[in-house]
Every structure is written in C-alpha cells, then in structure tokens.
C-alpha cells in the first residue's frame, strides 16, 4: 500500500497540526498507510498543547513529491495555503471547514467540508461514523484544537456540533475544558519576546480577492496595546513582507481574547474596499476598530471578498 502524507496549511495553528495527527490515526486504524506531517513548526499555543499531552510534533516538510504520490489535506484546500509542490502530487482526500477556492483536481476524491468551527469537530464525528474509539490522548488534542479555533466557544464560528464535541472530548480526556482552555489560549499570547516579522507570519493566510493578493494575519493577545505600542516595528515588517511576497494588501488582526474585540492594521492598496467592507474609514494610525470581531474565516474574509468583488 502506497504511503500518503496528511497535513494542514502553512503557518500551522493548533487545528492544522492536530487534525492531521488525528485523521492520520483514524485512517491507519482503518488500514491505511499515512503519516501526519506539518508545513511549519508549531506555534506557542500548539507547543503548549503537545507538551501537555506529551506528544511529539509531526515532522516539518517543505515538499512532498519527493516522498509520496498521494496526499491528504486537512484544515485547508486553497493552493496558496498548501505545500509548494502540491501540483506534483494527487490530492486524494480533504477534510476542511473553510471556503473552497483555488482548488481543483484531475481525479475524483473524498471531500468532507462542513460549516463548523473546527476541522477536529468533523474528525470527531468521523471516528464515530467509522466505529473507531477515540484514544484519550487524541481526544485531548482534538479538544485543544476546537478550543483554539472557537476561542473556547466564544467565536461566532461556533456551532452546536463544536459544543457537543468539546463536551465529549473533555470527558474522554478527563479535563476541565474551561480551566484548561484558558491556560491554552493564554499560552498563545506571549508576544513581547517575539519580533514583529515572526508575529505577522505565525498565523497568516493569503487570499486572492478580485485578482488582488491579500494577506490576512492574526495575533491573539490579552492587551492590544502590547502590539500597537510597537506599531512602527510592525509597519516595517509588513512592508518588507509585502515587497518580498508581492502582497497587494496586508490586513493584520490584533484580537483581544478576553473581550473578543479586534483592532486591525491595514497597509497596502486598495484601501477603499476595506473601508467599504467594515463601513468605516481607517483612522490616523491606519487602523480599524472592530468590536466583536474574532474570526478571520467568518467576520473578515467574506466581508473583504464581497467588497473587493464589488469595487
């Protein structure tokens, strides 16, 4: 049986890492030959999760065609968010909870997409559908992924399916989800020791919007001033990233995980669709104030997409 690699998106967050590990485990239990890998090193939050459950991080790969002919994608589908040589291998399966864009295959494939808060919620259901017991360690990992993606069920992306999964997985893992969840989220908010260049790339995704290359990054914190007191450093890092990667627009979300509000720094062109999307002008600091906004997937990208397409 040919080996298949399972992986999430570039700049992996907790769900990208965990979903690959959990789905690979499920597939192997069903007789497949897969390995979970990652398209980047774990961030601080994910390191906390892996350390807590005493699990080794998947190995990091930059290319896959030199190893396998078939791959499986989790937590993403868009080509620009995936491995560099994806066009040289066959995508045989996708499990995701995002929009479908810039994605096509030459052969039929298994595709599971649901509008839930986290890919690990879907994989939890798939364990049940395949009558495979969820190991305690895997339950803890998937619980962590759902906590991360839904900001402990506070994100508007949260569904009843996510709530049900968190309750079940917490029971299997033997964990108080609220207490553990706050500790997990706080682990990902250490920003003072990191450079602006590292922070803007840690959780960032590229989107093609009406022909424009738009980068949307997100930094979670307990105080947005921890970021904006360093705004000149962030502006320099963003402009360097724009020049190096050909981004037309860079949209940096700085999200307070305690009050579920975001302030965004916007650099690039065009600005008009951004102001249209959020019904406000950039202030003198090139920022938008976005109360109640925490989700890139649901509260930022769809709004930007609509505004760019109408511009």
Q: Give bridge partners of residue 221 from the DSSP assignment.
A: 256
Residue 210: how many CB atoms within 10 A of its CB?
A: 14
**6-to-17, 24, 64, 98, 117 alpha-carbon distances in Å:** 10, 6, 10, 17, 20
Q: What span, in angstroms and rounded, lies between the C-alpha atoms of 102 and 96?
A: 14
Was 201 annotated as part of a binding site?
no
Output DSSP code: residue 38. B
Judged by DSSP in three states, 104 sits in coil
Using an 8 Å Cβ cutoff, are 120 and 22 in contact?
Answer: yes
Was 226 annotated as part of a binding site?
no
Q: Give bridge partners of residue 4 from the DSSP assignment.
A: 34, 70
Judged by DSSP in three states, 172 sits in helix
Judged by DSSP in three states, 140 sits in helix
Was 98 annotated as part of a binding site?
no
Was 13 annotated as part of a binding site?
yes
Using an 8 Å Cβ cutoff, are 9 and 76 in contact?
Answer: yes
From 97, 64, 28, select the one nearest 296 (Cα to Cα). Answer: 97
Using an 8 Å Cβ cutoff, are 18 and 49 in contact?
Answer: yes
Was 149 annotated as part of a binding site?
yes
Was 25 annotated as part of a binding site?
no
Residues in the annotated binding site: 9, 13, 15, 75, 97, 149
| Binding-site sequence positions for Mn(2+) | 9, 13, 15, 75, 97, 149
């Amino acid at each position: 049986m040919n080996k298949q690699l399972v992986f999430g998106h570039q700049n992996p967050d907790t769900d990208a890492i965990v979903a690959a590990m959990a789905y690979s485990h499920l597939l192997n239990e069903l007789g497949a030959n897969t390995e979970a890998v990652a398209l980047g090193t774990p961030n601080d939050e994910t390191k906390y999760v892996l350390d807590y459950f005493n699990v080794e991080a998947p190995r990091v790969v930059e290319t896959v065609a030199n190893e396998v002919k078939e791959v499986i994608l989790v937590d993403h589908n868009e080509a620009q968010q995936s491995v560099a040589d994806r066009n040289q291998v066959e995508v045989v399966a996708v499990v995701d909870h995002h929009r479908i864009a810039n994605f096509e295959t030459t052969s039929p494939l298994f595709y599971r997409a649901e509008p839930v808060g986290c890919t690990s919620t879907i994989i939890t259901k798939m364990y049940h559908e395949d009558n495979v017991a969820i190991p305690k360690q895997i339950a803890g990992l998937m619980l962590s992924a759902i906590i991360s993606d839904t900001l402990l069920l506070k994100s508007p992306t949260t569904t009843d399916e996510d709530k049900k999964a968190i309750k079940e997985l917490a029971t299997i893992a033997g964990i108080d989800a609220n207490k553990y969840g706050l500790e997990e989220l706080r682990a990902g908010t250490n920003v003072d020791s990191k450079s602006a260049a590292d922070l803007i790339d840690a959780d960032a995704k590229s989107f093609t919007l009406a022909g424009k290359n738009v980068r949307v990054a997100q930094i979670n914190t307990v105080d947005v001033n921890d970021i904006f007191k360093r705004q000149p450093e962030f502006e320099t890092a963003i402009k360097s990233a724009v020049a190096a990667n050909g981004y037309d627009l860079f949209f940096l979300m700085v999200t307070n995980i305690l009050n579920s509000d975001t302030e965004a720094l916007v650099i690039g062109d065009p600005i008009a669709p951004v102001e249209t999307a959020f019904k406000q002008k950039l202030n003198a600091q090139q920022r938008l104030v976005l109360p109640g906004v925490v989700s890139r997937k649901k509260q930022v990208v769809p709004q930007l997409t609509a505004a760019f397409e109408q511009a």
